[in-house]
Amino acid sequence: MRETRRIDPVNCSVARALSVVGERWSLLIIREAIDGATRFSDFRSRLGIASNLLAARLDGLVEAGVLERLPYQEPGARQRYEYRLTPRGLDLRPTLVALLEWGDKYLADPEGPSVVVRHRAAEDGERCDEPVRVILECAAGHAHLPSSEIVRTPGPGARFVEPA
């Protein structure tokens, strides 16, 4: 029997990413921020999430650098905060599109998806309006890679565990 070294699952970018966005509501908050929500009340009304949970998730996303908290004050009211996506948060958009595609393929209503993500404008400035999709592509330019052709290999930061 051949024993091979195994990459330590604790030293994993997927696990680290899930520690930031893997809790219930986190990606939904990011989805709403991408769609324009900025204030606590916006997130609360759009998601129907309990205030204490929303506050905790917003705090975690700010701490992780996904959102930034910016003060604002309405005339005659106390100071409050808006939440804006950082570049780190905006970079989660393809993740949300990929999850949406998977959900549309396997979990959508019989009538079809409830949302279609579309390309807002083409390079020439004309409106494109075609649906957007996530495509897996290697550095050599091979696109539309099937899952069977994708493998995980050790990267420069890989740590290994001894075989059991």
Render pLDDT for 8-36 as a digit per residue (tens, 0 to 9): 888 889 989 999 999 989 999 999 999 99
- What angle is formed at CA 64 by the lines to CA 117 and CA 18, rounded to 5 degrees? 65
Where in the chain are the domains? 6-155
Listed in sequence order, the residues at least 6 apart from 88 whose beta carbon sits closer than 8 Å to its beta carbon are 64, 65, 66
Q: What is the pLDDT of residues 103-149, one digit of tens each?
A: 999 999 999 999 999 998 767 778 788 999 999 999 999 999 999 99
What's the pTM value of the predicted model, to 2 decimals?
A: 0.86
The CATH number assigned to the domain with range 6-155 reads: 1.10.10.10
| Percent with pLDDT over 90 in the chain | 76
